[in-house]
Amino acid sequence: MNIVMLGPPGAGKGTQAERIFAQFGWKPISTGDIFRVALAEGTPLGLEAKKYMEAGELVPDDIVEGIVADRLKKPDVKDGFILDGFPRNLHQAKALDKMLEESGGKIDLVINITVDTETLVKRLSGRRVCRKCGANFHLLFNPPAVEGICDHCGGELYQREDDNEETVRTRLKVYEELSEPVVSYYNPSGRLLSIDGTGTPDEVYMEIHAAIELASGGAAV
Ligand code: AP5
Ligand code: MG
Ligand code: ZN
């Protein structure tokens, strides 16, 4: 199954994409993660993306769309993928349609995770990410067993550059202005399902699981 995850910064897209992957094996593709890896490796792409990410602005469409188009051609997404953080504006949504048209693929389900702003800010300010494997933790809501250390790989946990208060505010504004219209774009398709993301990660996953079951006619579960 091919899924698009929509939702504001901190909604839990990455957290839930990992859970779907763990159960169904559909590959998460996070454009934000791709840029963070490129940045850690010091590639030209990483250095270019850094300017925008640190400011909380979107990386230019031609760069992001090129990356996603290449990624969707890789064999590991043949049986399914979960786009997390793409498309993020109408231009990208239309570009994705074109990519799928050319490859003969389609999006089966669009999951829109909704969370109020106050909760988003709390989640982003307490988030910690593994430097090695990219796993997400939260100081209060999802703490690692040992402080500062990733439960999965033993890597060091760090706070994302763009999780400071000022950049978070810009990211939320950018989401409202540019990314929210993408929700309306998918609305008439009948594949869009909005999910309340304010419960615990388990509660949110239960709703997502039900949405996947519904979209697959029970075949996926
Ligand atoms: P990206 O990395 O995609 O960031 P984002 O969209 O701002 O989303 P986040 O990763 O912050 O949140 P999330 O929804 O994944 O939440 P998470 O699961 O971590 O993008 C970063 C930047 O890259 C952009 O600003 C832009 O510059 C650039 N970029 C990326 N894609 C682009 C594109 N397509 N076009 C242009 N530019 C692009 O959860 C957050 C925290 O809350 C965690 O600590 C987690 O443990 C906790 N948590 C999760 N769920 C729950 C829950 N149910 N209850 C309590 N805590 C929870
Ligand atoms: Mg994320
Ligand atoms: Zn790790």
pLDDT score of 54: 95
In the chain, % of residues over pLDDT 90: 95
Residue nearest to atom 8 of ligand 1 (CA): 9
Q: Are 193 and 109 contacting, i.e. CB atoms less than 8 angstroms apart?
A: yes
Q: Does the annotation mark 36 as catalytic?
A: no
Q: Are 39 and 144 contacting, i.e. CB atoms less than 8 angstroms apart?
A: no
pTM score of the predicted model = 0.95
Was domain 2-115+173-216 assigned CATH 3.40.50.1580?
Answer: no
Q: What is the pLDDT of residues 57-107, one digit of tens each?
A: 999 999 999 999 999 999 999 999 999 999 999 999 999 999 999 999 999
Best residue among 114, 141, 203, 208 to mutate for probing ligand 1's pocket (most ligand atoms within 8 Å of CB) is 141
Binding pocket residue ranges, ligand 1, CB within 6 Å: 7, 9-15, 30-32, 35, 52-53, 56-59, 64, 85-86, 88, 92, 123-124, 127, 136-138, 141-142, 162, 171, 199-201, 204
For 12-31, the DSSP string reads: SHHHHHHHHHHHH-PEEEEH
Q: Is the pLDDT of residue 220 over 70?
A: no
Distance of alpha carbon 98 from alpha carbon 90, whole angstroms: 12
